[in-house]
Amino acid sequence: MKIICIGRNYAKHIEELKNERPTEPLVFLKPDSAILLKKMPFFIPPFSNVIDYEVEVLVKINRVGKHIDTKFAHKYYDEIGLGIDFTDRELQSELQAKGLPWEKSKGFDGSAVAGNFYPKEQFDLENIKFQLFKNDELVQNGESKYMLWKIDELIAYVSQYFTLKKGDLIFTGTPAGVGKVVPNDVLIGMLEGEESFRVKVK
């Protein structure tokens, strides 16, 4: 199972981190060991000083595909979920400054939260609405209509480089509002008004 992540897919998030806007999807991977087990807390790694939350719509691939045309991409998933891409922001900045890969800052154990998945028929796929609450305060409020590249476009793009397999997850990018977590924070992800996950930080 692969975890394929898309960076800088919302313009306002690009602005808040003062990043350059990409001309094509920015793709990176997390290992399967990054998945946070259900009902387990997220432990801030001992090597980290600044861990940021990034809430994202998730897509679960349902069949093998390679070189998928955008018009056929909808056949390759039937479930939508919500998750968090935890990021060691300080380490990421250091690696970026040196032109090095991001994996240490993005793929550490427990850095990928995958909440409940729901049939895609429940959603308006042109505009999926989602939120992240930290200690009952709304910190991220997303609408997928603001993605620079939509779900089907991402599937088509990624499949040029990686054969997609059943169970692979695509993290589609985060909207503005990312921020730091500290011990005892409680993060709750809402997908179209329904709780998809709840994570305690330790």
pLDDT digit string, tens, across residues 80-108: 999 999 999 999 999 999 999 989 999 99
Residue 81: which of 164, 177, 197 has the closest Cα? 197
pTM confidence score: 0.96
Residues of the chain with pLDDT under 50: none
Determine the pLDDT at residue 13.
82
Structure token digits, residue 39: 């009902």
Determine the pLDDT at residue 17.
74
Sheet holding 169-171, edge to edge: 26-30, 3-7, 169-171, 55-61, 77-85, 112-119
Determine the pLDDT at residue 19.
78
Structure token digits, residue 33: 């060991």
Q: Which fold has domain 3-200?
A: Fumarylacetoacetate hydrolase; domain 2 (3.90.850)
Q: Which residues pair with 189 in a beta bridge?
A: 132, 197
- Give the span between the Cα atoms of 121 and 93, in whole angstroms: 39
Q: Which residues pair with 79 in a beta bridge?
A: 60, 119
Determine the pLDDT at residue 20.
82
3-class DSSP assignment, residue 201: strand
> Any idea where the domains of the chain sit in the sequence?
3-200
Q: Which residues pair with 26 in a beta bridge?
A: 7
Determine the pLDDT at residue 30.
98
- Give the span between the Cα atoms of 5 and 193, in whole angstroms: 24
Contacts made by residues 148-153, CB under 8 angstroms, sequence distance 24+ = 148/8, 148/9, 148/10, 148/11, 148/21, 148/22, 148/25, 148/173, 149/6, 149/9, 149/25, 150/126, 151/57, 151/59, 151/73, 151/77, 151/125, 152/70, 152/71, 152/73, 152/74, 153/25, 153/70, 153/73
Determine the pLDDT at residue 18.
74
